[in-house]
Amino acid sequence: MGTQTASARSRNGHAPNGKPFMATDHAFADPDRDTDGRPSTIERVVKAIAGAIGSRIPVADLDERDPDYIRESLPAQWLLASLWFRGEVRGLGNIPEDGPVLLVGNHSGGNVSPDSLVFTLAFSTYFGVERRFYQLAHNLVLSMPGLGFLRKYGVVAASPENAERALASGAAVLVYPGGDHEVHRPTWEGNTINFDGRRGFVRLALEHDVPIVPVVSIGGQETALFLGRGEGLSKLLMLDRLFRLKVLPISIAAPWGLNVGDMLGHIPLPAKITIEVLPAIDLREQFGPTPDVGEIYHHVTTTMQETLDALAAERRLPIVG
Amino acid sequence: MRVQAAIDVAAPPHLVWGFVTDPTRYLHFMNGITRWEVASEQARGCGARYRTLMRVGSAEVGGLVEIVEHEEPRDLAWTSVTGIDQRGRWRLRERANGARTHVELRLQYGVAGAGLLGWVAEQVAAPAVRENLRRSLRELKRQAEHEQARAAVAARRAATQR
């Protein structure tokens, strides 16, 4: 995928033949081929698996967001967020009342990420389900059996094309630039913003001339004992090439005990989730007409880290809050 | 789910009415309310719309509401336009020949179609909502009686000067 140009992709992130782009579209080049140029057995098997998974990734359709469904499920979300996570969201008034906006969050909690739940609930009740709100998620999340309902909440596969379409529709878009790298960081790095140098969100905001609103959360990394990302293991099993998965996280989590991959999720511990929404950053107003992407990235991550440090200082005990 | 609270205020109904119909005062005496903004051209009376939010648990819930009943100085009712389903009512009744007011605040809320979990959420939220209403009425009583006392002192002073 990385070697393909953006122009070669269709607007929904799928290849012209209608199949979703996968890491395998380009990944297995000459080194894996037989000397006569035919694909090796390994390559064929790997491509078949990737194709099967890829076919499950739905075509991005912003219309799949269903405000009535969201509204009817608010009470269930509220119960979970209030009773289990004791969620607290501050500063929602910092989000512009209307128009497109890029919400940039730090991501925590492994594959069962409580910060997304708490923030989505808070956004939906504060602005109303009528306001268009999309969240970008890893392809694999949307292709998992039983998680199709997430699309009704406005979850779409993370790709520049989908983010562009969502912003162009005037929606608020929530992105987690750190993605799988950040969400599976070890618990002892829980209070660290780690976007892994991914600056695409800055370019996206500049391209669409939308403000960035940083969203900082704490507590998600206390919902299990995250031991490591397992990047070496992922590479060994070729998951990075198959599914764009650069990690194979290892954690100790209920009900599994030792949890490798977190593919089936886990039961999160009832850690208190606190989220603070920071003032909107108008990029051209603050950084000039031709802003430097690196400077903005540094500013956003530094501001978020300072807020996270302050939230961490407020916290008396892990999980309890 | 319907919750309500009531209190007797040592002030005439028209004075209390001035509080409950003034959208700028809600943030000062309504407990848990984080937003009560005028969202229509008219600020009071039937058809006036307000954007309201009340903090309950981990969310600020509410939505756009519209005044549907405005009978001075007795009843003020609103119903939701967007957001969660809600219907609220201020009920003011004269006591002690107009010297006191019995104030009742009712709030019905829920989400149609939310099923069993919706019912559970309404029950779980009820104590917090009820407590918000009680505290709001206590604060309304304090502010209204304070204003009534100031008005009485001003009236006495004016009479003395005459």
Instruction: State residue A258's pLDDT score.
Output: 95
Q: ipTM score of the complex?
A: 0.89
Number of domains in chain A: 2
Question: What does the pLDDT look like over A115-160, one tens digit per residue?
Answer: 999 999 999 999 999 999 999 998 778 777 788 889 999 999 888 8
Report B:105-124 residues touching A (Cβ under 8 A): 111-115, 117-118, 120-122, 124
Q: Where are the alpha helices (DSSP H) in A225-292?
A: 231-236, 239-243, 283-287
User: Does A9 have pLDDT greater than 70?
Assistant: no
Q: What percent of chain B has pLDDT over 90?
A: 95
Q: Let me know: does A189 contact A41? Beta carbons within 8 Å.
A: no
User: Does A21 have pLDDT greater than 50?
Assistant: no
Cα–Cα distances in angstroms (integers) from residue B4 to residues A196, B32, B89, B106, B112, in the given order: 52, 15, 9, 4, 20
Average pLDDT, rounded, for chain B:
96
Q: Do B58 and A128 touch (CB under 8 A)?
A: no
Q: What percent of chain B has pLDDT over 70?
A: 100
Q: How many CB atoms lie within 10 A of CB A39?
A: 14
Taking CB atoms and an 8 Å cutoff, what residues of chain B touch A86? Answer: 58
Q: How far is the C-alpha of B114 from the C-alpha of A128, rounded, in Å?
A: 16
Q: Do B84 and A74 touch (CB under 8 A)?
A: yes
Does A93 lie in the same domain as A185?
yes
In a domain, A79, yes or no: yes
Instruction: State residue A61's pLDDT score.
Output: 78
Radius of gyration of chain B (CA): 17
Cα-Cα-Cα-Cα dihedral sign, residues A243, A244, A248, A254: negative
In a domain, A151, yes or no: yes
The predicted model gives B112-141 an average pLDDT of 96
DSSP state of A283: H
CATH topology of domain B2-161: Alpha-D-Glucose-1,6-Bisphosphate; Chain A, domain 4 (3.30.530)
Q: Partners of B101 in the beta sheet?
A: B9, B94
Interface test with A, best of B34, B55, B58 (most A CBs within 10 A): B58
Q: Which two tokens stand for residue B107?
A: 């709030």
Question: What does the pLDDT look like over A236-247, one tens digit per residue?
Answer: 888 888 777 788
Q: Which two tokens stand for residue A164?
A: 């562009």
Q: How far is B22 from chain A (nearest CA, A)?
A: 23
A287 touches B at CB < 8 Å: no
A95 touches B at CB < 8 Å: no
Q: Let me know: does A69 contact A75? Beta carbons within 8 Å.
A: no
Does A196 lie in the same domain as A152?
yes
Residue B86 φ then ψ, to 5°:
-150, 155
Does A149 lie in the same domain as A203?
yes
Q: Where are the domains of chain B?
A: 2-161
Q: Do A128 and B82 touch (CB under 8 A)?
A: yes
Instruction: State residue A243's pLDDT score.
Output: 77
In a domain, A59, yes or no: no
Does A174 lie in the same domain as A39?
no
Does A130 lie in the same domain as A35?
no
A235 touches B at CB < 8 Å: no
Element (H, E) at A45: helix A41-54
Q: What percent of chain A has pLDDT over 70?
A: 83
Cα-Cα-Cα-Cα dihedral sign, residues A157, A158, A164, A169: positive
Q: How far is the C-alpha of A23 from the C-alpha of A244, rounded, in Å?
A: 6
Taking CB atoms and an 8 Å cutoff, what residues of chain A touch B52? Answer: none
In a domain, A308, yes or no: yes
In a domain, A320, yes or no: no
Does A42 lie in the same domain as A76?
no
Does A22 lie in the same domain as A78?
no
Does A48 lie in the same domain as A177?
no
SS3 A213: strand
Residue B14 φ then ψ, to 5°:
-65, -30
Does A194 lie in the same domain as A49?
no
Q: Which domain holds residue A202?
A: 67-314
Average pLDDT, rounded, for chain A:
85
The predicted model gives A292-317 an average pLDDT of 97
Instruction: State residue A52's pLDDT score.
Output: 66
Taking CB atoms and an 8 Å cutoff, what residues of chain B touch A118? Answer: 58
Instruction: State residue A311's pLDDT score.
Output: 97
Does A106 lie in the same domain as A47?
no
Beta strands in A143-264 (DSSP E): 155-157, 172-175, 212-218, 225-228, 250-253, 257-260
Q: Let me know: does A46 contact A28? Beta carbons within 8 Å.
A: yes
Question: What does the pLDDT look like over A41-97, one tens digit per residue?
Answer: 766 776 676 666 666 655 567 889 999 999 999 999 999 999 999 999 999 999 999
In a domain, A23, yes or no: yes
Does A10 lie in the same domain as A134?
no
In a domain, A62, yes or no: no
Does A138 lie in the same domain as A24?
no
For A208-212, A317-321, B135-139, which range has the lowest pLDDT when averaged over its residues?
A317-321
Q: Map A48-88 to HEC letters.
A: HHHHHHHCCCCCCCHHHCCHHHHHHHHHHHHHHHHHHCCCE
Question: What does the pLDDT look like over B47-101, one tens digit per residue?
Answer: 999 999 999 999 999 999 999 999 999 999 999 999 999 999 999 999 999 899 9
A130 touches B at CB < 8 Å: yes
